[in-house]
Amino acid sequence: MKKKNLSVKKTIHNFYFKKLDDPKIKRIYLNFKKKLSSYDVNNFCVAVSGGIDSLALSFLAKSYSLENKVKVYFFIVDHKLRKNSTNEAILVKKKLKSFHISSEILTLKKIKKFKNLQSYARNNRYKLITQKSLNKKTNFVLTAHHEDDLLENFFIRLLRGSGLKGLISFSKIKSKVKFDDRIFILRPLLDVSKNDLKYILKNTFNFNIEDPSNLDDKFLRVKVRKLISTLVKDGLTFNKFKLSLSSLAKSNLAIDYYVQKNIDDNSNYLNLSKTVILKKEFLKQPDEIVFRSFSDLIKKVGKRRVYTRGLKVENILNQLKSKKKYIKKTLSGCIIQKLENSVIISQENR
């Protein structure tokens, strides 16, 4: 390696490792490093928005890559939701480059009208990053979700009527991307506060893009953020919230146990025909157990990557529990037939 290249490499290392001498940044980094090590993460991707959170994550990820000599891919998504989004993405790419981070801009197609614009853009953002992860032959996408996001998502899902499983799902550090079972989302900052991430950024890159939608009351997330701010003043702390979340997670594990027991005891999977036969006892279990068991089997037989919408599952179950002796329906790649006291679930177009 040429002397010039060695000098540049040394300068890069010195910048990042000197910043890690800061006790507060070091504490957060060691926690971050422990999370990645516990999930056996080698090469990975980082989703970068240009906000405080994702740029603080970028610093930590780059530091980790230098220390452990692993390849990290940084993806900036131009979501096209604001007229300046393309210029902002280019600016973030340029700024990252000044800190010796190579990144790639992924562009979403411009959306003119859509009922839930932010949700639609988020899903397509994950699709883009998932595809890129597969191309790079890496299985992990790191996101900058933190303590504050955990609180916000819990209340948002509560307001939208999510069940127990939905309420705790975001609290998982590692979860599968719903578009592809080979890719995992990793949230190594879930126990780090927004203020800590601000501290990292201020003392490292000292640059970020401000998203005006974070102040727009028309978005539910902004309303929830203000609600949480009021609750914090009234005594809500993250540690108290974590205790409640932990209790809910334990309850969910108990339900999962009985869901699997219902599948094992009250259904027969015929491997050759890819068909499931439900015994009459299957539908006599508590509602939540039946709902989850049935959803799991529909996903398995229909070979779907994601679960069928809850309302559709509920409608089918209500019909199966009715006094009708014969029912035939299709749902998520499955044919569902009720014959007397038995229910048969088979693949559509086998």
Nearest Cα residue to 27 out of 197, 170, 242, 206: 197
**pLDDT of res. 240:** 84
**pLDDT of res. 222:** 80
Nearest Cα residue to 141 out of 88, 193, 108, 178: 178
- pLDDT-above-70 percentage for the chain: 93
**pLDDT of res. 114:** 57
Domain boundaries, the chain: 3-212, 257-347
Dump pLDDT digits (tens) for 270-302.
Answer: 987 789 999 989 999 999 999 999 999 999 999
The answer, yes or no, to whether residue 247 has pLDDT greater than 70, is: yes
Least confident of 2-6, 50-54, 91-95, 313-317: 2-6
Mean pLDDT for 108-129 is 72
- pLDDT-above-90 percentage for the chain: 53
**pLDDT of res. 306:** 77
- Give the chain's mean pLDDT: 88
The answer, yes or no, to whether residue 208 has pLDDT greater than 70, is: yes
Distances (CA, A) of 276 to 9, 228, 271, 296: 59, 45, 9, 11
Question: Who has greater pLDDT, 161 or 54?
Answer: 54
Q: What is 121-174 written as a DSSP string? A: HHHHHHHHHHHHHHHTT--EEE----HHHHHHHHHHHHHTT--HHHHHHTT-SE
**Structurally, what CATH architecture does the domain formed by 3-212 represent?**
3-Layer(aba) Sandwich (3.40)
CATH code, 257-347: 3.30.465
Dump pLDDT digits (tens) for 129-170.
Answer: 988 998 999 999 999 999 988 888 888 888 888 888 888 887
The answer, yes or no, to whether residue 110 has pLDDT greater than 80, is: no
Q: Output the pTM of the full model.
A: 0.82
Dump pLDDT digits (tens) for 209-240.
Answer: 987 666 667 777 788 888 888 888 888 788 88
